[in-house]
Structure formats: structure tokens, C-alpha cells
Amino acid sequence: MNYSSPFFFATFLLILLSFFPHQNAANSKLIDQSCEKTLYKDLCKLTLRSSHESKGADLVGLTKIALKLASSNATRIHSRIDQLLASTKDRNVEQSLKECSEQYGDAIEQIEDSLAALDSEGYADVNTWVTAAMSDADTCEEAFEGQDSPVEGLSKLFGQLCSITLTFSNLLANGGK
């Protein structure tokens, strides 16, 4: 099975979103305005509108939702890497997976640090930690140079969720504008 295919990516996104009951968010306008400033407008709107936590959330709350989704995604990637490590026989793939496991372990910690920074209004720290987590994901993908990455689609989603978070954090740092 090709885990980097668009079908797998779309299936994963639908599964992820199924954990959040659909609702009409009272702050649909805030979601639309905030998401329009991101690179991944459709993903942003879809994930935030699907989250039960978005009802009545302000921009800080929306940022926290995006961070939690990134954290959940990173945890799933880390678990998938562990599964692949247990079943691989290829030494090159095994080495790449070990590198990815370490990188995603770091990324999970950095996203958790971002959540703490957000709670204390340390928006520059949020940006620092989220950027570091994105860099870890890139390092994982680079470990598969010359071979197909079995977590490429998942890593792409992680990067997109982090990008959304960075946009929101920058908005918060600039007073929501």
C-alpha cells in the first residue's frame, strides 16, 4: 500500500475529521476571516468548522485547536513510524525510520511547548517551537532521500496544520490583524 498517495492522504484527513462532530460554529465569520489569511484556506476552514471546540472560540482558541490537531497528527505519524520499524527488513529504510522517529518525538515535544507558550501569550515562542517542529518533519522526509517516504502524506498534513498555526500566532502577535 502506498501511504503517500493522495487517496491515503484524503482518507486520513476524513478519519481525522470524523473525530470532531460537525456543527455550525457561532464564530463562522472569525474562522473565515482567519483562515483566509492562511496558505491552506480550505483545510483551515474544514478542520476548524468540524471541531466542537471552535464553537464560541476566539483566535487564541482557534490557534489552540490547530496546535492540538498538529499534535494529534504528529503522534499518529510517530506511531506509524514505530509500526513500520517493527516490520521493515530493509536496513536503509530502517535507518531512515529511526531518524524519523527521533525527529517526530522532538516535534511532539515542541508542539506541546507551543501550547504552553500560547497559554502564556508568548506568540514569538509559539512561532519558534512550531517552526522547529516543521523543521523536524522536513528532516524526517530528507532521511528518505532517493527512496519513497512511507509517511510523506501524513507529514504534508502536519506541515499544513503547522503553517495554519503560524499564521494565527502572527495574527495574535499583531493584535488579531
Q: What is the mean pLDDT of residues 119-140?
A: 97
Average pLDDT, integer, range 100-113: 97
3-class secondary structure per residue, 79-132 = HHHHHHHHHCCCHHHHHHHHHHHHHHHHHHHHHHHHHHHHHCCCHHHHHHHHHH
Q: Give me the residue spans of the domains in the chain.
A: 28-173
Q: Tens digits of per-residue pLDDT, 20-66? A: 444 443 478 999 999 999 999 999 999 999 888 888 899 999 999 99
Residue 18 has pLDDT above 90, yes or no: no
**In terms of CATH architecture, what is 28-173?**
Up-down Bundle (1.20)
Asked whether the CA dihedral 79, 80, 84, 87 is positive or negative, the reply is positive
As a whole-number percent, the residues of the chain with pLDDT over 90 amount to 74
Q: Which is more confidently placed, 13 or 70?
A: 70
- Give the up-direction half-sphere exposure of residue 68: CA atoms within 13 A in the CB hemisphere: 17
The length of the chain in residues reads 177
Mean pLDDT of the chain: 88
- For cell 498538529, the residue is 70
pLDDT tens column, 140-152? 999 999 889 999 9
pLDDT, mean of residues 2-25: 51
Q: Flag whether pLDDT at 1 surpasses 50.
A: no
- Residues near 174 by beta carbon (within 8 Å), at least 6 away in sequence: none
**H helical segments located in 36-90:** 41-50, 59-87
Confidence label for 13 from pLDDT (cuts 50, 70 and 90): low
Q: Which residue has the cell 514569538?
A: 124
pLDDT value at 17 more than 70: no
What is the share, in percent, of the chain residues with pLDDT greater than 70?
Answer: 85
